[in-house]
Chains A and B, each alone.
Chain A
Amino acid sequence: MIRIEKLVKTFDGFPALNSLNLHVKKGSLYGLVGVNGSGKTTIIRHISGMYRQDNGTVEIDGMPVYDNTAVKSRLGYIADDLYFFGNYSISALKSFYSRLYKSWSGERFNEMSALFKLDCHKPVRKFSKGMQKQAAFILAMSVMPDVLLLDEPIDGLDPLIRRQVMHHIIKEAAEREMTVLLSSHNLKEIEGVCDTVGIVKEGRMVIEKELDDLKAGTLKLQLAYPPDDKKGRERYKDLNILHYEKRENSSIELLIVSGAEDEIMPKVKAHNPLVCEALPLTLDEIFVYETEGAVNEIFDEI
C-alpha cells in the first residue's frame, strides 16, 4: 500500500531522512515510533504529499504521492500542529471538504459529529487543542480515506475521547481495510492498536516488523545462579544480548535477548540456572533496547 524506498530529505544540509525505507500493507495499522527529531513528522509529510523528497520514492499503491491529486484524494491527514482556515467552523469546513473529496460521506460526518458533540457553527480556532483534534478527526474520517495519516493523534485528548478515537480507527480499518499510519511517543497506545511497528532513529528506519514478530523475536529473561557463580555476562557469548543487568551482591540476572524463544532457551538452560523465567516484554522496552542496539550498529557503520 505505502512504499517508501531510500527516501532522502535534508534541511539546510541536515539529513532529516537518510535513505529511509518504509512499507505498510493494506489494512495495516502501522505505528511509527521514534524519539523527538528522529524524522517521524517528516515521513508523514512526505506520505501526505506536502514535501518533495530530495531523493527516493514515496508511493501509495504504486503511484507517486507528490502532486498527485488521485492519490491525495484517498488520504486523510491529521497533523500534530493543527491549522484551520480563517474563522472556519466545522460546518464550513464540511461544505468545503464535501466539494473537494468525491468520497466525502455526509452520513459519516453526522455520525461523528453526534459522537463528539462539538459546536459545528463555532470557529474551530476558538476550540481547545483537544477539541480541534476532534474536529480534525471528524473531517478526516468523513473523507472515508483509504489511508489515514495521524501525527501524534492522541496528544491533548482526554482518556475517554482517546478511547473513542482509537475505537473508530480500528473499526474503520477492520471494516473498510483502511490503512492507518500513526506516529506517537505513547508506545502503550501503539502497542494496543498497531499490528506493525517501525522504529525511526536519526532519519533511518532501524526496525520495521509486525508487533508479534517483534515481541516473538525478543525475549526478556530473569535468571538466578548460585551465589558462588561469578561468570556473569561472559557465559552468553552465543546469544544476541540487547541488555544485561545484574545488581551488585545479587545472584539474579535480567536479560533482554534478541532471537526466537525456542533457540534461546536451550542455550540459557545449558548454563544450569537455578531459576529461568520468561517475563512479558513491553513495546516500551523493545523500543529502548532495540534502538540502543540499532544506534550502536549505526555508529559501527560510521
Chain B
Amino acid sequence: MKSLTKFNLQSPINLALLREQLKRFWYLALVQMALYGIILLTVYSDAISGPRQMLNVLQMSHIIIPMAMLFFPFFAVSAMFTYLFRVQSADVTHSLPYTRTQLFCTNVLTGLILMIVPLLLFCVFCLNPVYMPGSLGRIGTPLNPFGDIALFFGRMLLALVFYYAVYLVCVMASGNIIMFIVAGGALPFLPITLHIVWQFLKSFFLTGYDVSSHLNAGLAEKLFISNPIFMMFQIQGGIDMNPYIITYGITALVLCVLAFFLYRLRRLERAGETLVFTPAKNALVFFLASAVSAALTFTAIALLAEFAGIYIANDFAILLLFALFFVVFYYLGHMMMERTIHVKSKRKLLKWFAAVLGGILVVGYFFTITGIGSSFVPKFSDVEAVYTGGASFNNIPDGTIISDSNIIDGVINAHKALLKDKGTLREAGFYGGFNSSGLSRKYGHLSREYIAYFLTDGAAVTSAYVIPASLYESSGLNSLHAEETVALTQYLGNKARLEPEDLGAISLSIPGRFDGSLGFSDPRELEELFACIKADALTDAERMGAMIKEAAENGAAAISDYYGADNICIINIFSKEEMEEISSGDYYYSRPMDIRLADPENILAWLKENGINY
C-alpha cells in the first residue's frame, strides 16, 4: 500500500488543470472586482477633497473590506474544494490523471490567484486618484501613496491568505457545506477559546481565580485577534506590524500544511458526511453532549428551585440528571453527525465515554474540585499582602490590601479553617451558584467572598467562595475586616510586575497639598522617582502595614481621616505598553499600577530637590 507521507517528485502544479480551473471560476474574480469597485467609487469621490481622505478608506474603514477578508477566501475555497462534498464529483475529479498533491496545490494556487488579482487591480486603481489634476496641490501634508497602498495591499493579502488557510483546513475536515461554514466561523476563535478554557481550569483546579490576570487578559486580547479582522481594525498608524505579519504568516502556512495532510488522509467515500474523520466526530459529539448536559443540569436545578420550590443538592441525583441528559444528547449528536436515527453501532463507544466521564467525575469529587474553587493556601513566607472581602480585588481600587504579618497569618489560618468545612463549602459553593434561593432557605444569607494573596514573586492569587454568612463569620475572616473602609495602598509588593525600564509614565497627586496631578515621563525623572516610591512603600511594607493597623484600631473610616489628607499620596504608574494604548486612544485596556502612600517622605524630598513646588 502506498505511504500517505510519500510524495511524488513531480511538479506540484498541473498546468492544464490550473488553466481549466481559472477558466471555470473566472467569475469569482469578477465579483470581487465589482465589490472592490464600490470602494473605488468612495476612493475616487474622496480624492476630490484630497488624497489623504482617499487613503483613509484604505485604513479599513469601508464596510466591504472586512466582508472581503471574510467572504472572498470562503468563496475561493468553496469553488475549489467543495467537490469533495459529493461522491460523484469527488470520484470523477480524482480519477483524472494527476496526483492528489497536484490537485491540492493547483486548486490552492487557483484560489489564491482569483483573490490576489482583483486586490492587485484595486490597489493599482487606487493609485490613480493621487495623480488626478489638482489633488496633490490641495494637500499640505506629505503623502506616500505607494507606501500606504502597499501597506494596505499587504494587510489585505495577509488577512485573505490567513482566512483562506482557515477555510482550507475546515473544508478538508468537513463533509458537507453546513459543517464547513460552522467550522470556518469557529476555527479563528479556537486559540482564545482554548485560552479561556485553560484559565478556567487553572483557576478551578489549581490556583484559584488569578488576580494577576492583567497579563492573561493581555494575552487574551492578543489571542482574540486570531481573527485578523479584529487586528486590522485595531492597528493604527505607527504600530509595528512585524509581529502580526510573522504570526499570521506562520499560522497561515501551518494551516495550509495541515490542510494538505488532512486532504491526503481524507477518504473520498466520506463525501457528504458531517465530519470526515471518525475520531474527530466522536470527540466532538462527546464534548458537545457533555457541555450541553452540564448546562441543562444546572439550569434544571435552578429552575426547579426557583419555580417548583424543589431543592436538589444531592450529588447522586445531580449526577444521575447529568447522565440522563448526556445519554440523550450523545445519541442526538450522533444522529446529527450520521444523519440517521440508527446509531446502535455507537453503543460500545458510549460505554467507553461513560466510563471516562464517570472517572473524571469521581476523581474530581475526591479532589474536592467541585464547588470550592480552589483549595490553594500559600505558605506564610511566600505572602507579602492579603485582601479579603465581598468584591473582587480588581473591582475595588480602594480595597484594603494588608501587609501586616499578624493579619496575613490570621487570614491563612482562617482560610484553612474554612476549607476544613468541606461539606458546607461544597454545597454552598457548587450548588449555590445554581440554587441560591434553595440554599438561602437552608443556610440563610449567602455571599460571595474573596481571599486574595499577593505573593513575593509578584503573582497574585484569589480564591472565591459562595458561603453562608454564618460560616464567613465563624471562620474569623469577618473580624479581620472590622474596618472595611480603611484604605491605604494597593498591593505593596509586586516587585516582579514592574521594573524601572518598563516605566512609561508616573502620575502623582497629593490632594491635601495641591490640585490636580503631576506627570513625569522623562526617563531620568522616572528612574529617580520610582526609586523614591520604592523607598517609601515597596521596601517598607512592614511600616505601612503597621500604619494601616494603627488606623484601623483607632476606628478611622479612611486612612486620610487618620493621617490627614495632605499626607496621602496617590500614584499611578504606567508601563510603556499602557502609554502606547493611551496614546492610541485605547485607554480602556490600560490598568496602571495604583499606589496610595501615607507620609511619602522620599517622594516629597525628591519633588523639593527638583524644584517642584507643592
Q: Which residues of A contact B (CB under 8 A)?
A: 11-13, 45, 48-57, 64, 66-69, 72-73, 75, 77, 79, 81-86, 96, 99-101
**Binary A-proximity of B82-101 (CB < 8 A = 1, otherwise 0):** 00001111111011111111
The distance from the CB of B85 to the nearest CB of chain A, in whole angstroms, is 12
Chain A CB within 8 A of B524 CB: no
Task: Tell me, rounded to whole Å, the shortest Cβ–Cβ distance linking A15 to chain B.
Answer: 14
Find out whether the CB atom of B19 lies under 8 angstroms from the CB atom of A99: yes
B271, chain A: closest CB distance, angstroms:
11
Cα A64 to Cα B14 with chains together (Å): 21
- Beyond A51-B269, A67-B8, is A72–B1 a contact (Cβ under 8 Å)? no
Which residues of B sit under 8 angstroms from A11, Cβ to Cβ?
269
Partner among B1, B91, B102, B345 whose Cβ is within 8 Å of the Cβ of A83? B91
A-B CB contact pairs (8 Å), 26 listed: A11-B269, A12-B278, A45-B91, A48-B95, A50-B90, A50-B91, A50-B94, A52-B1, A67-B8, A67-B100, A69-B8, A69-B99, A72-B95, A72-B96, A73-B97, A77-B95, A79-B88, A81-B87, A83-B89, A86-B24, A96-B16, A99-B16, A99-B19, A100-B16, A100-B97, A101-B97
Other-chain residue from A51, A54, A73, A82 in contact with B88 (beta carbon distance below 8 A): A82
* A13 and B345 contacting across the interface, CB-CB below 8 Å: yes
Q: CA separation between A70 and B391, bound complex, in Å?
A: 72
Chain A residues, Cβ within 8 Å of B5 = none
Contact B95 A69 (CB under 8 A): no
A124 vs B97: C-alpha distance in the bound complex, in angstroms?
A: 21
Q: Are A69 and B10 in contact (CB under 8 A)?
A: yes
Contact of B88 with A56 in the complex, beta carbons under 8 Å: no
B97 near A79 (CB under 8 angstroms)?
Answer: no
Q: Are B88 and A49 in contact (CB under 8 A)?
A: no
Q: Which residues of B contact A66 (CB under 8 A)?
A: 2
| Cα A272 to Cα B100 with chains together (Å) | 67
> Which interface class (under 10, 10 to 19, 20 to 34, 35 or more) fits B?
20 to 34
Q: Check: B267 CB closer than 8 A to any chain A CB.
A: yes
Q: Other than the known A55-B1, A67-B2, what 4 A-B pairs have Cβ atoms closer than 8 Å?
A: A50-B90, A73-B97, A75-B97, A96-B16
Chain A's interface: helix, strand, loop or mixed, by majority? Answer: loop
Q: Which residues of B contact A52 (CB under 8 A)?
A: 1-2, 267
Q: In the complex, which of the residues A52, A72, A101 has the most CB atoms of chain B within 10 Å of its own CB atom?
A: A52
* Interface SS, B side: helix
Q: Is B300 an interface residue (CB 8 A)?
A: no
Find A72's partner among B16, B20, B87, B97 (CB 8 Å cutoff).
B97
Query: Does B284 lie at the interface of the complex (its beta carbon under 8 Å from any beta carbon of A)?
Result: no
Q: What residues of B have a CB within 8 angstroms of the CB of A55 in the complex?
A: 1
In the bound complex, how far is the Cα of B95 from the Cα of A84, in angstroms? 13
Mark contacts of B155-195 with chain A using CB atoms, 8 A cut-off: 1 yes-contact digit, 0 otherwise.
00000000000000000000000000000000000000000
Instruction: Kindly state the separation between the CA atoms of A55 and B96 in the bound complex, as whole angstroms.
Output: 23
Q: Which of B76-120 contact A (CB under 8 A)?
A: 86-92, 94-102
Contact present for B268 and A50 (CB under 8 Å):
yes
Please indicate which of the listed interface residues B1, B16, B88 has the most CB atoms of chain A within 10 Å of its own CB. Answer: B1
**In the complex, what distance in Å separates the CA atom of A67 from the CA atom of B243?**
39
Residues in B neighbouring A68, C-beta threshold 8 A: 99
Chain A residues whose C-beta falls within 8 Å of the C-beta of B89 in the assembled complex: 83
List the B side residues contacting A72 at CB < 8 Å. 95-98
- Is B17 in the interface zone, CB < 8 Å from A? yes
**A56 to B91 Cα, complex, angstroms:** 21
| A272 CB, min distance to chain B CBs, angstroms | 58
Q: Please give me the residue from chain A that is nearest to B17 by CB atom.
A: A100
Contact status of A79 and B92, CB under 8 A, knowing A55-B1, A67-B8, A67-B100: yes
Q: How far is the CB of B423 from chain A (nearest CB, A)?
A: 48
The distance from the CB of B100 to the nearest CB of chain A, in whole angstroms, is: 6
Residue of B nearest to A70 (CB): B97
Per the bound structure, the CA–CA distance linking A85 and B596 in Å amounts to: 73
- Of listed B92, B98, B100, B102, residue having the most chain A CB within 10 A: B92
Once the chains are docked, how many angstroms separate the CA of A107 from the CA of B4?
39
Quick one: which of B2, B95, B99 contacts A50, CB cutoff 8 A? B95
Contacts of B345 in A (CB 8 A): 12-13
Could you say which residues of chain A place their CB within 8 Å of the CB of B95? 48-50, 72, 75, 77, 79
